[in-house]
Amino acid sequence: MARRQAAAIRPFSDPHVRFLLHDFVRQRTRSFANLAAPFWRLAWNPAPGASVRFKGVTQALDPARIYLLPPETGFAAVLARPTDHLYVHFTLSRPYAGVPPQVLSLPRTAARARLLTRICNHAAQGTLGHPAGALILLALVADLLAELPAAIWSMPLPDKRISRVLDWMETHGFAFPPGNRDLARVAGLSTNAFIRLFSSQVGLPPMRYLLNRRVDHAAILLQHTDGTLDQIAAACGFCDRFHFSRVFQARHAMGPARYRRERLY
């Protein structure tokens, strides 16, 4: 009797939505300058009064629309009057990285309006972070992302060996940064061949790419945790807060303390 072959597992691009911060709050009149950050944002206001400025164009936030902003979208926000504001900060896994900075606007359909009502109710009860609230939030985020044009996700995938290294960096490469030789070993290549392949596939040398990712991770920790600068520097592989501050300043045009202060809600 012929032996049945095990079915091959088909590759699946898991978006791995990770929520960083979310709430439905009453915000006072206030202006925010450049709010570029290494994570996605969702925003919805149930009443007029808020606007965003992106690439010189000011856009009022329409209550009939829900807005998504990909990572590194540098925008300014203005609250002309006190207004309720739903905001969600989240990240997606690497296959979904690389979406260009922009302001995406999607309609508040009847189904999404029902989800928004349930989300706001959970926020009022303080249960938005509980399993039931988080699942409703996930349903809204997934529905909005699924409506974006397919072309927005059509970035070419790198060589499998480089994909393996990129994934390894995300899980092992921040607190104790590896060298090119370590990464080449993960890729199964000689050091020189790895550096050439990585640079051609990613557009940056491995160490520069990893440094950028470590600083991006630090930006997320600054805005979404209460860790000290020393703790965040250590978590991102910097020898001390002074070295960390210099590198962070070079990438974000401001020091980590100011970055944290200007992005607190």
Assess contact for 229 and 256: CB atoms under 8 A: yes
| 147 and 200 assigned to the same domain | no
| 83 and 142 assigned to the same domain | yes
Q: CATH number for the domain including 147?
A: 2.60.120.280
What predicted TM-score, i.e. pTM, was given to this entire model? 0.87
Q: With bands split at pLDDT 50, 70 and 90, how would you rate the model's confidence at 4?
A: low
| pLDDT score at 31 | 77
Helical ranges in the chain per DSSP H: 110-125, 131-147, 160-172, 180-187, 191-202, 206-224, 229-235, 241-252, 256-262
| 212 and 104 assigned to the same domain | no
- Structural domain of residue 52, as residue ranges? 18-153
| 164 and 255 assigned to the same domain | yes
Listed residue (11, 35, 13, 19) closest to 155, CA to CA: 13
Q: Judge whether 27 lies within some domain.
A: yes
Q: CATH number for the domain including 233?
A: 1.10.10.60
Mean pLDDT of 190-204: 95
| 139 and 28 assigned to the same domain | yes
Average per-residue pLDDT for the chain: 90
H-helix or E-strand spanning residue 54: strand 50-54
| pLDDT score at 1 | 47
Listed residue (48, 43, 54, 51) closest to 21, CA to CA: 43
Task: Assess whether pLDDT exceeds 80 at residue 264.
Answer: no
Q: Give 216-248 pLDDT, tens digit per residue.
A: 999 999 999 999 999 999 999 999 999 999 999
Q: How many helices (DSSP H) and strands (DSSP E) are in the chain?
A: 9, 9
Q: Judge whether 127 lies within some domain.
A: yes
Assess contact for 116 and 122: CB atoms under 8 A: no
Q: Give 11-31 pLDDT, tens digit per residue.
A: 567 888 999 999 998 887 677
**Lowest mean per-residue pLDDT among 27-36, 98-107, 205-214:** 27-36
Last-in-domain residue among 135, 153, 171? 153
Residue 155 dihedral angles phi and psi, to the nearest 5°: -70, 140
Q: Give 47-69 pLDDT, tens digit per residue.
A: 998 999 999 999 999 999 999 99
Mean pLDDT of 109-133: 94
Q: Give 125-153 pLDDT, tens digit per residue.
A: 999 989 999 999 999 999 999 999 988 88
| 22 and 149 assigned to the same domain | yes
